[in-house]
Chains A and B, each alone.
Chain A
Amino acid sequence: MSRVAADNILLDKDSKNGKSKLNLFFRRLRRERELWLISIPMIVWVAIFAYYPMYGVFMSFVDYIPGKEIFSSQWVGFKWFMEFFTSPDFGIIMRNTLVISGLNLLIGFPAPILLAILFNEIRNKYFKKTIQSISYLPYFISWVVAASLLYSFLGNDGILNDMLMRLGVLNKSVSFLGESKYFWTIITAANIWKNIGWSTIIYLSAIAGIDEELYQAGAVDGLGRFGAVWHITLPGIRPTIILLWILAVGGLLNAGFEQQLLIGNVQTREVWDVIDTYAYRFGVQMGRYSYGTAVGLMKSVIGLGLVLLTNKVSKKAMGLSII
Chain B
Amino acid sequence: MNRTYYKNGIGGNIFDAANTLFMILFAFLMVYPFINLLAVSLNDGIDAAKGGIYFWPRKFSLESYSYMLQNKNLLKGAVISVLRVVAGTVTCLLGTGLLSYVVSVRNFSGRRFMRVIFIITMYFSGGLIPTYLLILKLHLINSFNVYWIPHILNAYYMLIIASYVQDIPEALSESASMDGAGDLRIFFQIIAPISLPVFACIAIYVGVSQWNSWFDVQLYNSNRKWDNLQIMLNRLLNEVQGEQELRDAQLQYQKFRNMSTVTLRAATTILVTMPIVFIYPFFQKYFIGGITIGAVKG
**A–B contact, 8 Å CB criterion (strictly below):** yes
Check A146/B33 contact, CB under 8 A, given A132-B284, A133-B281, A323-B115.
Answer: yes
Q: How far is the CA of A4 from the CA of B105 in the complex (A)?
A: 11
Q: Tell whether, in the assembled complex, residue B120 and residue A134 are in contact, meaning their CB atoms are under 8 Å apart.
A: no
Q: Tell whether, in the assembled complex, residue A49 and residue B150 are in contact, meaning their CB atoms are under 8 Å apart.
A: yes
Closest-CB distance, A40 to chain B (whole angstroms):
10
Partner of B237, one of A144, A202, A216: A144
* Interface segment, one of A52-60, A80-88, A93-101, A176-184: A52-60
Contact residues in A for B49 (Cβ distance below 8 Å): none
Q: How far is the CA of A197 from the CA of B280 in the complex (A)?
A: 12
Segment 128-166 of B: residues with Cβ below 8 Å from A: 128-131, 133-134, 138, 149-150, 152-153, 156, 159-160, 163-164, 166
Contact residues in A for B102 (Cβ distance below 8 Å): 35, 38-39, 42
Q: Tell whether, in the assembled complex, residue A133 and residue B280 are in contact, meaning their CB atoms are under 8 Å apart.
A: yes
| Residue in chain A with minimal CB distance to B112 | A323
Q: Tell whether, in the assembled complex, residue A118 and residue B23 are in contact, meaning their CB atoms are under 8 Å apart.
A: yes
- Write the B56-100 contact mask toward A (1 if CB under 8 angstroms, else 0): 000000000000000000000000000000000000000100110
Q: How far is the CA of A120 from the CA of B287 in the complex (A)?
A: 10
| Residue in chain B with minimal CB distance to A228 | B6
* Interface segment, one of B195-203, B218-226, B249-257: B195-203
Contact residues in A for B107 (Cβ distance below 8 Å): 3-4, 7
Q: For the complex, is A165 an interface residue (Cβ under 8 Å from B)?
A: no
Contact residues in B for A38 (Cβ distance below 8 Å): 98, 102, 183-184
Contact residues in B for A32 (Cβ distance below 8 Å): 108-110
Closest-CB distance, B43 to chain A (whole angstroms):
15
State the main secondary structure of chain A at its contact with B.
helix
Q: Tell whether, in the assembled complex, residue B126 and residue A225 are in contact, meaning their CB atoms are under 8 Å apart.
A: no
Q: For the complex, is A121 an interface residue (Cβ under 8 Å from B)?
A: yes
* Interface segment, one of A102-110, A166-174, A207-215: A207-215
Q: How far is the CA of A228 from the CA of B8 in the complex (A)?
A: 12
Q: How far is the CA of A82 from the CA of B33 in the complex (A)?
A: 44
Contact residues in B for A146 (Cβ distance below 8 Å): 33
Q: For the complex, is A160 an interface residue (Cβ under 8 Å from B)?
A: no
Segment 266-323 of A: residues with Cβ below 8 Å from B: 289, 292-293, 296-297, 300-301, 303-304, 307, 322-323
Segment 27-84 of A: residues with Cβ below 8 Å from B: 28, 32, 34-36, 38-39, 42-43, 45-46, 48-57, 59, 66
| Residue in chain A with minimal CB distance to B134 | A53
| Residue in chain B with minimal CB distance to A28 | B109
Q: For the complex, is A239 an interface residue (Cβ under 8 Å from B)?
A: yes
Q: How far is the CA of A127 from the CA of B288 in the complex (A)?
A: 12
Partner of A57, one of B19, B124, B281: B124
Q: Tell whether, in the assembled complex, residue B178 and residue A35 are in contact, meaning their CB atoms are under 8 Å apart.
A: no
Closest-CB distance, A258 to chain B (whole angstroms):
9
Q: Tell whether, in the assembled complex, residue A66 and residue B129 are in contact, meaning their CB atoms are under 8 Å apart.
A: yes
Contact residues in A for B105 (Cβ distance below 8 Å): 3, 35
Check A303/B280 contact, CB under 8 A, given A135-B30, A140-B273, A323-B112.
Answer: no
Closest-CB distance, A206 to chain B (whole angstroms):
7
Partner of A121, one of B19, B123, B197, B201: B19
Q: How far is the CA of A289 from the CA of B237 in the complex (A)?
A: 26
Q: Tell whether, in the assembled complex, residue B126 and residue A55 are in contact, meaning their CB atoms are under 8 Å apart.
A: yes
Contact residues in A for B1 (Cβ distance below 8 Å): 120-123
Contact residues in B for A307 (Cβ distance below 8 Å): 119, 123
Contact residues in A for B166 (Cβ distance below 8 Å): 239
Partner of A211, one of B98, B197, B208, B294: B294
Closest-CB distance, B258 to chain A (whole angstroms):
17
Segment 186-243 of A: residues with Cβ below 8 Å from B: 193, 197, 201-202, 204-213, 215-216, 219, 223-226, 228, 239-240, 243
10 A-B interface contacts by CB (under 8 A)? A35-B105, A127-B23, A133-B284, A138-B33, A152-B51, A208-B288, A208-B290, A224-B9, A225-B8, A225-B12
